[in-house]
Structure 1
């Protein structure tokens, strides 16, 4: 019976509505299982990994719609976690038994799987599945296993079951469905392989450790450590460690990461030790030590973050392998045998590393590659062990019996590079081997012959001793011959020779032969004589030194006790500013000048007088030819005149002056040392008075010297303890009458003497030779204060000016230290200004020019201070490019009035030379206005206040900032 058309139309509409409703309903279901995996009786193992649907972060409850069962019915189930701390990760898969039999199967999820585990932050294994709930029946039973989560299931004929797995981790690397017997057979099949690999690894580790005891070379413990590390790695991979120590999957992650770190660490130690890299470069030793310390720190990291530790260890392992390749190629080209022997084993390591990389990144993915890589590690250790054993036992050490005593003695003699001296007494023939005659410039065989033939070449003073010594040696018939003599070479020079020999006696006790060595002792003799001479004579001028002076004075002091007419005078002369000559002209020029001065002074002396050189530029004269005070004074004047005569060097006339101290016999307390100290104190007094003068010792100088030493010691303590303060003198900009910067002034409040002025501080430091240290102290303090100002007022850019008031500050070493301080301060360019006084520039113009260029390259400003105080001229400004030139206000004044025309002319000339003009010691508003009208840029002095401490200077800068903000 055919259905009417309208009914068929209504039926189609109803079906469409039902289909739409089902679609809406199915969309409301939280999850839908995948298509079922068909399981038949013949299936041994099925990979379910790609048939699993993962549901991460779903919470403790998962609602799932099952696949249709055998009757086509789809059910909706809800699974709850049995653990309150469950992370909320789930996996769903379906199985369908298409056979007509009941099937028993095992669901297996391995804890660790190397393929696809990752390189840098690898998956080190964990418990994967906590429980599996089927869509029908009870939860699956867990089968005990150390290295996998195994669950047993039973599938009824035709059953279609959906399984919900509660995961312990967010990912599931592998999931297999095994036939129970097949799974057991597979595990048993790998057991034999695991046992063989573990046995070989264990034997290797023990064997290499025993070898270290037998043969204590450093490379054996490094190899043994690598073997033990590989054994630990393999034992973890083959689940052998679990048999010894009960471990949870979480503990295994720590052990696995530690094994990775141990292998990486031991490989670094092995490579460094075997190639003996410290032999090639000491820096490689430091690099290897730092690398090793970093890897040892990873053991601690493995306790808290095993994946991170393992990832870093793998990076280190790969880096070590690549570094080893580079080193072996480099060392092999240099024919280093160790590198050549290691190349086969290292090639295997490179291949293993490549295979491990492909496996860890998932490019190779099967169940055989992981145990194969473990076996490869053991094979690598085996090959490394053979290489090390070959190197250690192949002729590495001396073996008893290898050489006879004669051979050993012959080798020792060859090693000394000495010449054998053989005298056949019976034939009276001397032979040297190798022939010694060519070394003296004679034809070969010249010295081979009778002993008397040597006499013609010997020094006349040594001939009799040579003959008598040989005769006496033959007469005594015992002992050892040691004969030193001089022999003439073909060029006429004499060489010192040494013969050491022993007699060979016949059966009747007569000497039939004398055999030994002959060596050239000329260099040793010359060195010894030079040392003896240098101990008492200055090697540059040939004058007696300090030791001879003290000896001569001691002799005169002792002689004066019995000879009242013995009244010598001691004169000490120190050349002024001699260090400047060395710095500007070089040490060679300084040496030539000292030699010229020595000859001049010697012309003034008589035979009974003594001239000695005390130090670099100091001379001492023991004057015995003149005893009367007037005669001594005339001699001192003659000495001054001789030194004052300019010395010509390279078309330049060098003017010299000296500070001279005189100690007469009446002033001496009676010992050579105090006599010399008296003259030295008088010389220091003359130097403190400005040099180029003569001072006579008087007892008051000793008290002044003691006071000077105390103050110098106090200065050193003040620098070390930072007891001095830096004050800041405002430097104003004349066009705006605002603070542009500050000039640094050092202040020291002495505990006994009170406030000490800046000039006196630097005078004391100059005498104590600590001027550079004092300037650097000022720079450090000023930069610290400037940094504090900049932090408080970032928009204000004041400068601080520090004076480099000694030539020592122009040295390269000091400039480098200044550069370090300036760069560390990170101030804006030209905020740090170094001021060089005019007299310093005139003393060392070339050095000052180089220093100025150097300071500019580091971003510092450079100014000239004290212009016009000496003999400076505008040519000085032309040769140097200063940012500013500071002139004392008194230079521009006449009758207490500022000469505006002179100032304008000077400013105009200075501007043409590219330098601004600043004026110091400005005391009135009238002067300031006149200087501003003339075009001067900066001014400082009493008008703008005294020097202030850093907090007060900051307050002045705040006023400048406030005024700028208001404007």
Structure 2
């Protein structure tokens, strides 16, 4: 734990005074998006996953190294066994790959990544809280760029440091300052690889910190009660953009767009009014603006969710169940929710270590079709993924194989190019 870690760091600091050649390295390892794992499998299973990871990491350490859990899903490491900078970064890469190896849970696999910050000590560096803060700053830098990477602390990072209170006040003004950007990730029709729709994803273009992903600011927005305004902004902008695409394309099956909804939005009765306002401002085809809710969110309060979702559906909004298979919903409950689309979590889509896809994938697709729902597979990364998913009966797929999140202009260019190809 953190207390033991600080004691050990103090002992190393005293030891280093007598041996100037000894230069410990401090690492802070923070798991990416672990809150989503906890939400989907439950805290007890989340803790057992952390135990598994700790055991894995311990196996690659030498006796003189120290590993501790600093907080939640964050680990600290005092590395004494390596002194050469090249070997230290190679060791950090081994840690990154160790964390990436899938963890078996029931008959599926959970994939994790981590942001790793390194602080290399030198004779001028005090081995104290400060070096931990340096490693944390490097870790936050890694997370801000997208995670699953290693960054070494540089003094310039301290100049960019922004504390939590400052972030909160800046986030409150971000919408009016037009700092919130919406990117759109394509969702393709597997039958002919045409673009069926997009998922809207918010990014914050912070004036000092650069582009920040939702993992860095959505939790703050939820805590300070800003998620409702932020959610309304994303929904409104996406609907307006969707109307532009639909007018431009005039296709037989109109383009759709899905927007994520948080628990705080779903619990508000004003959500119905917000949706009605958004739909009145932009004339999108019925059912093409889809609200996307996670399975764990719906199961927090199934009775309330069923009532709200029925009312939302009556307004002419589509409903998509995100991360299906990661929560704990029973099939009986699933039939009560008026979803038209199920998005299968990428852990069911990716191949296992044996090169096969989880057996349950075929069953989920069949179940969705029995309930009259379309299926979107998340995390499709290769052409063979697309072929196999189509053979299993999946209608749509989303993933890097079909395009990364892009701005509205790039999405429009993609749609226009596709229409020109179809015309020729």
TM over 0.5: yes
Q: How far apart, in 2, do the equivalents of 1:924 and 1:896 lie? A: 17
CA 851–898 in structure 1, closer or farther in 2 if over 3 Å, else same: farther
2:370 matched to which residue of 1? 912
Deviations 1:44-82 (A, max 9, x none): xxxxxxxxxxxxxxxxxxxxxxxxxxxxxxxxxxxxxxx
1:645 matched to which residue of 2? none
Larger radius of gyration: 1
2:273 matched to which residue of 1? 816
1:964 matched to which residue of 2? 422
CA 773–897 in structure 1, closer or farther in 2 if over 3 Å, else same: farther
CA 929–817 in structure 1, closer or farther in 2 if over 3 Å, else same: same
Q: How far apart, in 2, do the equivalents of 1:749 and 1:818 lie? A: 26
Is 1:932 equivalent to 2:393 in the alignment? Answer: no
Q: How far apart, in 2, do the equivalents of 1:795 and 1:871 lie? A: 38
2:322 matched to which residue of 1? 865
Query: 1:898 offset after TM fit, Å?
Result: 4.1
Query: 1:711 offset after TM fit, Å?
Result: 0.5
CA 725–946 in structure 1, closer or farther in 2 if over 3 Å, else same: same
2:130 matched to which residue of 1? none
Is 1:899 equivalent to 2:350 in the alignment? Answer: no
CA 896–882 in structure 1, closer or farther in 2 if over 3 Å, else same: farther
After the TM superposition, which of the residue ranges 781-790 and 736-745 deviates more from structure 2? Answer: 781-790
Query: 1:915 offset after TM fit, Å?
Result: 1.4
3-state DSSP class of the match of 1:820?
helix
Is 1:781 equivalent to 2:233 in the alignment? Answer: no
Deviations 1:719-758 (A, max 9, x none): 1222211000000111111100000010112122222112
Q: How far apart, in 1, do the equivalents of 2:211 and 2:361 lie? A: 36
3-state DSSP class of the match of 1:749?
strand
Deviations 1:644-683 (A, max 9, x none): xxxxxxxxxxxxxxxxxxxxxxxxxxxxxxxxxxxxxxxx
Aligned length: 262
Contact 2:183 2:202 (C-alpha < 8 Å) held by counterparts: yes
Query: 1:799 offset after TM fit, Å?
Result: 0.6
3-state DSSP class of the match of 1:894?
coil
3-state DSSP class of the match of 1:809?
helix
Q: How far apart, in 2, do the equivalents of 1:717 and 1:812 lie? A: 25
Deviations 1:390-427 (A, max 9, x none): xxxxxxxxxxxxxxxxxxxxxxxxxxxxxxxxxxxxxx
Q: Equivalences for 1:653-802 in 2 at 5 Å?
A: 707-795=163-251, 797-802=254-259
Contact 2:348 2:360 (C-alpha < 8 Å) held by counterparts: no
Deviations 1:357-402 (A, max 9, x none): xxxxxxxxxxxxxxxxxxxxxxxxxxxxxxxxxxxxxxxxxxxxxx
1:856 matched to which residue of 2? 313
Contact 1:903 1:931 (C-alpha < 8 Å) held by counterparts: no
Q: How far apart, in 1, do the equivalents of 2:407 and 2:211 lie? A: 15
Is 1:805 equivalent to 2:262 in the alignment? Answer: yes
CA 823–926 in structure 1, closer or farther in 2 if over 3 Å, else same: same
Is 1:835 equivalent to 2:295 in the alignment? Answer: no
Query: 1:896 offset after TM fit, Å?
Result: 6.0
Q: How far apart, in 2, do the equivalents of 1:940 and 1:810 lie? A: 28
CA 898–779 in structure 1, closer or farther in 2 if over 3 Å, else same: farther
Aligned counterpart in structure 2 of residue 944 of structure 1, from 398, 402, 417: 402
Contact 1:823 1:858 (C-alpha < 8 Å) held by counterparts: no
Q: How far apart, in 2, do the equivalents of 1:945 and 1:759 lie? A: 20
Deviations 1:592-621 (A, max 9, x none): xxxxxxxxxxxxxxxxxxxxxxxxxxxxxx
Contact 2:189 2:195 (C-alpha < 8 Å) held by counterparts: yes
Query: 1:761 offset after TM fit, Å?
Result: 2.2
Is 1:883 equivalent to 2:347 in the alignment? Answer: no
Q: Equivalences for 1:156-171 in 2 at 5 Å?
A: none
3-state DSSP class of the match of 1:748?
strand
Contact 2:342 2:376 (C-alpha < 8 Å) held by counterparts: yes
Provide the aligned C-alpha RMSD in A.
2.0
Is 1:845 equivalent to 2:305 in the alignment? Answer: no
Q: How far apart, in 2, do the equivalents of 1:761 and 1:729 lie? A: 19
Query: 1:943 offset after TM fit, Å?
Result: 0.9
Q: How far apart, in 2, do the equivalents of 1:905 and 1:801 lie? A: 25
Query: 1:886 offset after TM fit, Å?
Result: 0.5
Contact 1:900 1:930 (C-alpha < 8 Å) held by counterparts: no
Deviations 1:156-209 (A, max 9, x none): xxxxxxxxxxxxxxxxxxxxxxxxxxxxxxxxxxxxxxxxxxxxxxxxxxxxxx
Q: How far apart, in 1, do the equivalents of 2:354 and 2:210 lie? A: 34
Query: 1:823 offset after TM fit, Å?
Result: 2.5
CA 897–854 in structure 1, closer or farther in 2 if over 3 Å, else same: farther
Q: Equivalences for 1:439-458 in 2 at 5 Å?
A: none
3-state DSSP class of the match of 1:865?
strand
1:955 matched to which residue of 2? 413
1:505 matched to which residue of 2? none
CA 903–769 in structure 1, closer or farther in 2 if over 3 Å, else same: same
Query: 1:853 offset after TM fit, Å?
Result: 1.0
3-state DSSP class of the match of 2:163?
helix
3-state DSSP class of the match of 2:258?
strand
2:379 matched to which residue of 1? 921
Q: Equivalences for 1:91-110 in 2 at 5 Å?
A: none
3-state DSSP class of the match of 1:910?
helix
2:106 matched to which residue of 1? none
Structure 1 residues without counterparts, runs of 5 or longer: 1-705
Question: Relative CO higher for 1 or 2, CA cutoff 8 Å, sep ≥ 6?
Answer: 2
Query: 1:901 offset after TM fit, Å?
Result: 4.7
Q: How far apart, in 2, do the equivalents of 1:765 and 1:896 lie? A: 41
Contact 2:348 2:361 (C-alpha < 8 Å) held by counterparts: no
Query: 1:795 offset after TM fit, Å?
Result: 3.5
Contact 1:836 1:864 (C-alpha < 8 Å) held by counterparts: yes
CA 758–896 in structure 1, closer or farther in 2 if over 3 Å, else same: farther
Q: How far apart, in 1, do the equivalents of 2:306 and 2:386 lie? A: 32
Contact 1:900 1:934 (C-alpha < 8 Å) held by counterparts: no
TM-score, with normalisation over the residues of structure 2?
A: 0.58
Deviations 1:506-545 (A, max 9, x none): xxxxxxxxxxxxxxxxxxxxxxxxxxxxxxxxxxxxxxxx
3-state DSSP class of the match of 2:259?
strand
Q: How far apart, in 1, do the equivalents of 2:239 and 2:210 lie? A: 27
Contact 2:313 2:338 (C-alpha < 8 Å) held by counterparts: no
